[in-house]
Structures are given as C-alpha cells and as structure tokens.
Amino acid sequence: MSEERPPSDAAHEKAADEVRAARTADPDAWATACEEDLAAEKARRRERYGPPPGSAAEELRKLVDAVADKLSGLQSPLLGAAASGTAQQMVNQVVRQAKAAVEPVIERNPQVFDHLAAAGSELLAAYRSAVQAQERRWTGRGTGRRDEGEGPGHGERIDVD
C-alpha cells in the first residue's frame, strides 16, 4: 500500500491563492448567476404562457379595441341589405365615440385603473371571506348550541310504549 503524504505548504498555498483569485475575479458571481436564472425563467414562462399582462390601463385599452373590432365586424341579418349599411355606419360611429371618450381618460390617469383593479380584488376577497364565514355558520355541526327559534332542529325522541 502506498503511503499518503500530506500536501506540502507550497501546494496548500497554491490552492488558497486559486480560491482567492476566483473570489476576486467575480465578486458578484452569485448575483450574476441568480440574474441569469431569473432571465431564463422569465423567457421560459413567456414562451409557455405568452407575454405577461400589462397594466390595467393597457388591458382596458385592449378590451375597448377588441370590442370595437367585434362590433364593427358584425353584420345584422335582421335589418336586410338596404338597412345594413346604415346600421353598420351607426355602429361604427358609436364605437368611435366610445373610443374617443375612453382614450383620453386612460392616457391621463393610467394609475387610476391599477388602483381600481386592486380595489376590486380587495372587495372580492372581502366578499369571499364573508360568504365563507356565513357558510361555516350555516353548516356548523356538532356545536351543541342553537339559538331558540332558529329553524327546525333535531327532534326529541319520544317513547310511545
């Protein structure tokens, strides 16, 4: 069997110098690796799910555009060919007026729509919490306590013999 020799001081110093050099070469190596991983994850999610949603103002603008395009493309079979052109012009005029009314508001106050979206989410959460609390009260079994006059309860067994 060969005998293992402890590393010499020169070899130990050389290894320590390599570690120090690696540390000084890229002091933010961990941060760089995290940034690269985050960028790769974002790219993977964009590829899988598409681009992330924009602000509430941008989403409202997209909704208005989509509704306007859909309304502009509708053909009314009930009105016939003669009235169809007039109806289509009227629809287009209404769509233009709606867009003209909405666009300046969106451009002046985009943060308002973000605030309204957040408020709507908070209202929904409060409503959900209230409904769940009420459901727990309605379905509460085994509590052993019921208020008088609170609907039909469990009957009392009567011995007929």
Q: Is the pLDDT of residue 145 over 70?
A: no
> What's the mean pLDDT in 83-93?
74
Phi, psi dihedrals of residue 3, rounded to the nearest 5°: -95, 130
Q: What is the pLDDT of residues 22-45, one digit of tens each?
A: 666 666 878 888 899 999 998 898
| Predicted model pTM | 0.42
The CA angle 109-115-116, to the nearest 5 degrees, is 95
Q: What is the pLDDT of residues 98-134, one digit of tens each?
A: 888 888 888 888 888 888 888 999 999 999 999 999 9
Q: Is the pLDDT of residue 47 over 60?
A: yes
Give every CB contact of residue 87 below 8 A, 6+ residues apart in sequence.
76, 79
* Confidence band for 150, pLDDT divided at 50, 70 and 90: low
- With left for phi above 0 and alpha for psi between -120 and 50, is residue 8 left, alpha or beta? beta
Q: Residue 60: its pLDDT value, please?
A: 83
Residue predicted with more confidence, 40 or 159:
40
> What's the mean pLDDT in 6-16?
64
